[in-house]
Structure 1
Amino acid sequence: MNVAVVTVGDELLAGRTTDTNATWLCARLDERGVSVERVTTVPDRVSDIARVVNEYRAEYDAVIVTGGLGPTHDDVTMEGIAAAFGRSLETHEEALVWLEEAGYSRSDLTEGTAALPRGARALHNEAGVAPGAVIDGVYVLPGVPDEMKTMFETVEAEFSGTLTYREVVSIDEPESALLDRIEHLREEFDVSVGSYPGESVRLVVESTDEATASRAAEWLRENAEIV
């Protein structure tokens, strides 16, 4: 399963808010064997949201969108999602009923709180008010981290893939000196290798087979100056 993550918010693009949502989602999806192939941030602009979501839903198995939910003037994500699908925004009765059961009266709710794209499945916000939605593989979640995490946990079973096993080897040699051994690892063990220089060079060996990853890492430890 491959996924794109889209975060929405002018404050993210201005650097006023750190995008912790994307990092958290990528880690959780990786744990489930799901490949995240795009992380994109777009402004609070209907046309940009619609364009990016349309592009990504054609390319990936699922798209997760976070941020911009609610009834205020700059909460335009649901409008952008509706535009991507060519659907109208409609009051979602199930979402309203849930909000009432959670203690909110309809008269107290700001107009548009429960407006979702026509035909969407509502995702109830256990840690806040504004509901999320699922529509044809596009998952729309809040931007508030606690709300996003709580809501994602209600749907994360819908994301699955092939688990990847990793071994990390820290090496006390220049990255350029390791090229031949990296090539050997790839050819001999059929693993992927990531190289991350710093005070030492971290080589991350990955395979869908745990034993293969372990053997490749052991060979590397025997044939390099490890830290």
Structure 2
Amino acid sequence: MEIHKAITDSDDRRLKTKYNNAVYVIQRALTLYNIEEVAFSFNGGKDSTVLLHLLRAGYYLHMKERMRCDEELTYNQCKFPIRTIYFESTSAFPEINSFTYETATKYNLQLDIISQDFKSGLEGLLKTSPIRAIFLGVRIGDPTAVGQELFSPSSPGWPAFMRVNPILDWSYRDVWAFLLNSKVPYCSLYDQGYTSIGSVYDTVPNELLCDNNPPGDKVEYRPAYMLSDGRSERAGRVKKSAQRLANNVSQSNGVSNTESQQTCIPTASVLGVGDEILFGTVEDLVGPSLCKKLHSIGWAVTQFNVLRSDIDSVAESVERQKSTNEMVFIYGGIGPLHSDATLAGIAKAFGVRLAPDEEFEEYLTNIVGYQCTGDRNEMAQLPEGITELLHHEKLQVPLMKCQNVVILMATNLPELDKEWDCLIELASSNGLLLLPKPFSSKYLTTLLSDVEVAQPLSALRIEFPDLSIGCHRKSRHGQLVITLKGKDEAKIDLATEGLFKKFKPGAFSVEK
């Protein structure tokens, strides 16, 4: 069978692994269900084209094993019998329709053409056929992929069938490696710069493939397989809303958006993960230093917790903190060991699973070598669909961001300093972090007792609720240090004058 031979003869070790895993899933499904009970949803796109040829190869190997045949099968013996469903739409590209029908003819597909929406069409089809399982070309990163496994029952409210997802863990580059290595035809739109094809109303060529120097005035695009970053696969999907909030300058009580950003106090939570810290075996310097750094750029830290190296503990804390703070910063527990629960905990907090990330795996491979990472590197399993890699030329491995949760790799202060500097540079260039007006501070020292200053300070807090007023002593019998912090320096001065008036002159000194 030409597909099986093309992939097994390839030097691409990763592709072989992906191929073997996908074919195993297909053979497993063909063992669990009779051939009349399975179907294949084909839409003419690149993913379903890959799945078509994987099914052809999987069925071929299934029949060879079933017939215990060591020689090549005849055409009739391996003729593709799986029922193929095509949901025809008036909004589909003509090229998609043409390719679908040409493919059906070329490979003798039993094509069921349905003109209804996917759900209604399936309901009608399953009422009149014995279909129990449907092969789908769903991949991680697809909007419908969240929560799915290789074998996943249909969602509540849908007709009952088993979703079989052989290429669930395939990346954009895996798809193109398969298509190019196996030399099978694919829709011509992909050679015109389209990287993810929906309807004619929401799909345009990917601007990242635009040829900046075409002959004449004609705009040209490179083929889809030349897209270097698979994360931008859906960049050619047009947003439904043309209005961009970022371009609007909203007014609130006569204050511009820029001014309000400068005077606001964004909040962050800092979470450390590590049993060694809780046992007292390791002194945690990263967390306190991170709190200082956040404060230095005008952020208020509402929580600083150290968590057990336990998935549930991380998940519960992240879920709580991400909904009550603008950002959550988490460190520790990143790695391949059994105690490294951070990424799994974050995935659970967002209700997604850990899934292979090809780009992150490449970074790790460059550091420790392929022989150490293997085919299923646990450190390259990231929360699916929500993880953004934060690249910086000074970082050997990019940091990660899952929506409003930033994952730091630092285990010591020099590493934290380096990562923090990179974060600030990224914040300045692409708005990763809001950089508001920093806090102003005033430090007062006094020999007065706690009892003497307690009531006046309580009254001051009521009078100036937007100021932070803290107290501490450098030693048990040393001077009391009173700290006033806020975004409005004039209010700090007013609060200081108000406190001075309640005591005799000279009761307080202002620290420089």
TM-score after normalising by structure 2: 0.40
- Range that drifts further, 133-142 or 7-16: 133-142
Report deviation, 1:159: 4.2
Instruction: Please state if 1:210 is matched with 2:477.
Output: no
Aligned residue number for residue 18 of structure 1: 283
Aligned mate of 2:446, from 171, 175, 191: 171
Report deviation, 1:93: 1.8
Name the amino acid aligned to 1:115. Q
Report deviation, 1:11: 0.2
Q: Is the 8 A contact 1:127 1:147 kept in 2?
A: no
Q: Secondary structure at the match of 1:153?
A: helix
Aligned residue number for residue 315 of structure 2: 50
Aligned residue number for residue 371 of structure 2: 107
Q: What CA distance in whole angstroms lies between the structure 2 residues aligned with 1:133 and 1:19?
A: 21
Q: What CA distance in whole angstroms lies between the structure 1 residues aligned with 2:292 and 2:283?
A: 16
Q: What CA distance in whole angstroms lies between the structure 2 residues aligned with 1:62 and 1:223?
A: 44
Aligned residue number for residue 144 of structure 1: 411
Aligned residue number for residue 182 of structure 1: 457
Higher relative contact order (CA 8 A, sep 6+): 1
Q: What CA distance in whole angstroms lies between the structure 2 residues aligned with 1:226 and 1:15?
A: 38
Relative to structure 1, the CA distance from residue 147 to residue 124 in structure 2 (aligned partners, 3 Å threshold; closer, same or farther) is farther
Identity of aligned residues (%): 25
- Range that drifts further, 36-45 or 132-141: 132-141
Q: What CA distance in whole angstroms lies between the structure 1 residues aligned with 2:463 and 2:272?
A: 40
Q: What CA distance in whole angstroms lies between the structure 2 residues aligned with 1:150 and 1:84?
A: 28
Report deviation, 1:185: 4.5
Higher strand share: 1
Q: Gaps (5+ residues) in structure 1?
A: none
Q: Is the 8 A contact 1:124 1:151 kept in 2?
A: no
For each residue in 1:134-161, what CA deviation from the matched residue of structure 2 results, as whole angstroms up to 9, or x when unmatched? 1110111225124344333333421434
Q: Is the 8 A contact 2:291 2:301 kept in 1?
A: yes
Q: What CA distance in whole angstroms lies between the structure 2 residues aligned with 1:93 and 1:75?
A: 20
Name the amino acid aligned to 1:135. C
Q: Is the 8 A contact 2:410 2:419 kept in 1?
A: no
Once superposed, what is the RMSD of the aligned Cα atoms? 2.7
Q: What CA distance in whole angstroms lies between the structure 1 residues aligned with 2:320 and 2:479?
A: 39
Q: Secondary structure at the match of 2:469?
A: strand
Q: Is the 8 A contact 1:34 1:162 kept in 2?
A: no
Aligned residue number for residue 341 of structure 2: 76
Q: What CA distance in whole angstroms lies between the structure 2 residues aligned with 1:69 and 1:218?
A: 49
Q: What CA distance in whole angstroms lies between the structure 2 residues aligned with 1:81 and 1:153?
A: 24
Report deviation, 1:84: 1.3
Relative to structure 1, the CA distance from residue 217 to residue 90 in structure 2 (aligned partners, 3 Å threshold; closer, same or farther) is same
For each residue in 1:76-135, what CA deviation from the matched residue of structure 2 results, as whole angstroms up to 9, or x when unmatched? 2111111111212122222233345x5543333362222211121124595666x54211
Relative to structure 1, the CA distance from residue 219 to residue 226 in structure 2 (aligned partners, 3 Å threshold; closer, same or farther) is same
Q: Is the 8 A contact 1:98 1:124 kept in 2?
A: no
Q: Secondary structure at the match of 1:71?
A: coil
Q: Gaps (5+ residues) in structure 2?
A: 1-265, 428-432
The count of corresponding residues between Structure 1 and Structure 2 is 225
TM-score after normalising by structure 1: 0.84
